[in-house]
Amino acid sequence: MLNLVLFGPPGAGKGTQSQNLIEKYGLIHLSTGDLLRNEILQGTALGLEAKKLMDAGMLVPDEVVIGMISNKLDANKDAKGFIFDGFPRTVAQAEALDSLLKSKNSAITVMIALEVNDDELEHRLLLRGKGSGRADDANPEVIRKRIKEYNDKTAPVAGYYKAQNKFTSINGIGSIHDIFDSINAVIAVKA
């Protein structure tokens, strides 16, 4: 299986590059942000609870997103592989993902981090907020809170994969096409 973790702060371009990767490698895209927004749209209890945290720029509890990912892995038993986008976002989530995959005789192939500086992130997210209707993209204070959550809780996840020799990072500034080429070069070496 080819199991990729796309890593990087909010606005780094994980969703955009996921779309390219799905087409090229036939992978299943698992974005916890999309899964949560879907729960909100359906008006589930989980969605209502998650919305409050998401609108404030805070992470939702680990057990909530781990449960969602576990369900999706079970529902896609014959997949060629997965792209994890926006997950794992804490070290506890990374540990849970490893044991979920291990129970299916699989593992993460590589983490690919997209490097983008904070000024560029804020600029991209505010721009996205104008078109996307996402409340968490429209407000500079919420954007800064998300970047802070990323630096506090998510950035350490890189170390978790470094310790397994599975971490690579690439420049996330440039054309979508060039960044995709860099990602493909990493996959060619690691897969």
The catalytic residue positions are 14, 89, 128, 134, 146
The burial of 11, by beta-carbon neighbours within 10 Å (0-12 exposed, 13-18 middle, 19 or more buried), is given as buried
**For helices 91-102 and 62-75, angle between their N-to-C axes, nearest 10 degrees:** 20
Give whichever of 31 and 109 is closer to ligand ADP, judged by the CB atom: 31
Give whichever of 98 and 191 is closer to ligand ADP, judged by the CB atom: 98
- Does 124 contact ligand ADP by CB under 6 A? no
Q: How far is the CB of 78 from ligand ADP (least distance, A)?
A: 24
- Does 94 contact ligand ADP by CB under 6 A? no
Among 4, 6, 11, 124, which residue sits at the site for ligand ADP (rule: CB under 6 A)? 11
Interacting positions 154-183 with ligand ADP (CB under 6 A): none
- Binding window for ligand ADP (CB under 6 A); candidates: 30-38, 155-163, 165-173, 177-185: 30-38
Among 6, 10, 157, 179, which residue sits at the site for ligand ADP (rule: CB under 6 A)? 10
Give whichever of 56 and 79 is closer to ligand ADP, judged by the CB atom: 56
d(CA 18, CA 177): 12
Q: How far is the CB of 118 from ligand ADP (least distance, A)?
A: 13
Helix (H, G, I), strand (E, B) or coil at 115: strand
Task: Tokens for 98, please give them.
Answer: 């490893």
- Does 33 contact ligand ADP by CB under 6 A? yes
Dmax over CA atoms of the chain, in Å, equals 43
Q: How far is the CB of 150 from ligand ADP (least distance, A)?
A: 8
- Does 53 contact ligand ADP by CB under 6 A? yes
- Does 13 contact ligand ADP by CB under 6 A? no
- The upper half-sphere exposure of residue 24, i.e. CA atoms within 13 Å in the direction of its Cβ, equals 13
Binding residues (CB under 6 A) for ligand ADP: these are 10-11, 32-33, 36, 53-54, 57-60, 65, 86-87, 89, 93, 136, 146
